[in-house]
Structure 1
Amino acid sequence: MAVAAVAALFALVACEPGNGLSTAAVAITTDQTGTRELEKRGVDVQWLTCTASLGENSATVGSSPSVRSVASVDCVGETGDGRDISIKGKVTQEVNGTCVRGDLTATVGGKEVFRANVLGNCQAGTPPVDNRTTPPPGNPGATVTVTETVTRFPDPTCSCFEGK
């Protein structure tokens, strides 16, 4: 059932605007590759969860101008000993769940642990065998957040905005 839910999530975000960049894929891949990188550096990651949102930036490739999507990613978590974890930055590319490219900074307990322009292995053709699509029990996984702005105007016949 969890596999079906993940497949449905990726099917839904396949139509997401972003010139091939999906907020769900960015959030999940940053969560997984960021956790692995922190653990390689000796950080005991208790949990980590990431959200991503899309924005657009102009970029020039060679002599042809093009528009390239940029996702802002924001991850928060905690170490085994209770210190706060944060990974924040911009992602310009996500490759098959194996890596993200951009400008990312990780801090643990308020101290910078790494700054990277690549997390994971972008040369890999397929996701690694140990690449989980669902988090283990008791650990939160990647979270995709969609924000909608709703503007409401007061009803002129209602006095509810006058403290009555």
Structure 2
Amino acid sequence: MLIRDATADDWPKIWPFWHRIVAAGDTYAWDPETSEEAARALWTGPGKRVYVAEGEDRNIVGSAYVTPNYAGPAARVANAGFMVDPDRSGQGIGRALAEHVLVAAKADGYRAMVFNAVVETNPAVRLWTSLGFTVLGTVPEAYDHPRHGRVGLHIMYRVL
């Protein structure tokens, strides 16, 4: 698997799984009816460094972005987003993207990374904790999950 910086030509290959993941309403606190134009701005907007993971067949199987979570004197704390094509889950793509992004974020001068809204039922919570993230707190019943009802949103953190 190759992980590389995304190009503008990659968005049409990211959008199908981005849309599928957000529309499912299981993991991201974004509107399931987000338009493609708005999704592109959310994922690839100004200040974001975007990566893609290519499978052996050269198809894009995942994507991630890194951006400052705060501004000014706190701009060295990163935020990131990760998505893996659901048809490719369980193949280590998410872990490979995460490991790549953590190394790249540190090399770019970030001191830490924070996730502001991790749905507590998201299977990726196990991945993040295995990579050294801790749950700083949970906003109870903040997320209307389509299957589990109201669930919390974790705030997760890790020093780089």
The structure with the larger Rg is 1
Q: TM-score, normalised by structure 2?
A: 0.28
Structure ranking higher in helix proportion:
2
